[in-house]
């Protein structure tokens, strides 16, 4: 009846492989040029768990693909606010 560590390691390995990524769209106020777009993209990409950040100046929006286990929409908004922009 002893449970060796091996099956657990296998199970966690299986669970880690397919990461359920989520995508969120944020409205961002205050971006006026490509430099702003790059700043927002950079702070979003720097967050742990963010796989992709597409920032559009004309749409004033960011589309972020992320791992919800590692980061949150709130964390993104805070990061954007720290960079000097407003996200909703
Ligand atoms: Cu700018």
Q: CATH no. for residue 81?
A: 3.30.70.100
* Residue 14 domain-assigned (yes or no): no
Distance from Cα 86 to the centre of ligand 1, integer Å: 13
Our count of domains for the chain comes to: 1
Is the separation of the CB atoms in 21 and 58 below 8 Å? no
* Residue 3 domain-assigned (yes or no): no
* Residue 37 domain-assigned (yes or no): yes
* Residue 8 domain-assigned (yes or no): no
pLDDT tens digits for 25-84?
999 999 999 999 999 999 999 999 999 999 999 999 999 999 999 999 999 999 999 999
Which of 32, 55, 58 lies closest to 43 in space, CA to CA? Answer: 55
* Residue 61 domain-assigned (yes or no): yes
Distance from Cα 57 to the centre of ligand 1, integer Å: 9
* Residue 10 domain-assigned (yes or no): no
Residue 42: give the domain boundaries.
23-87
pTM for this predicted structure: 0.77
* Residue 77 domain-assigned (yes or no): yes
Q: Which two tokens stand for residue 28?
A: 């961002």
If one counts every other C-beta atom within 10 angstroms of the C-beta of residue 36, the result is 18
Q: Residue 80 has what DSSP assignment? A: H
Distance from Cα 38 to the centre of ligand 1, integer Å: 8
* Residue 41 domain-assigned (yes or no): yes
Query: Of residues 86 and 9, which shows the higher confidence score?
Result: 86
Query: Of residues 13 and 57, which shows the higher confidence score?
Result: 57
Between CA 58 and CA 64 the distance in angstroms is 16
Between CA 17 and CA 74 the distance in angstroms is 26
């Amino acid at each position: 009846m002893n449970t060796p560590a091996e099956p657990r390691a296998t199970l966690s390995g299986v669970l880690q492989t397919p990461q359920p990524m989520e995508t969120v769209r944020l409205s961002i106020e205050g971006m006026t040029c490509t430099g702003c777009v790059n700043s927002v993209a950079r702070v979003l990409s720097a967050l742990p768990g963010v796989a992709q950040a597409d920032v559009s100046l004309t749409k004033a929006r960011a589309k972020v693909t992320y791992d919800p286990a590692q980061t949150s929409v709130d964390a993104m908004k805070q990061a954007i606010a720290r960079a000097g922009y407003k996200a909703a």
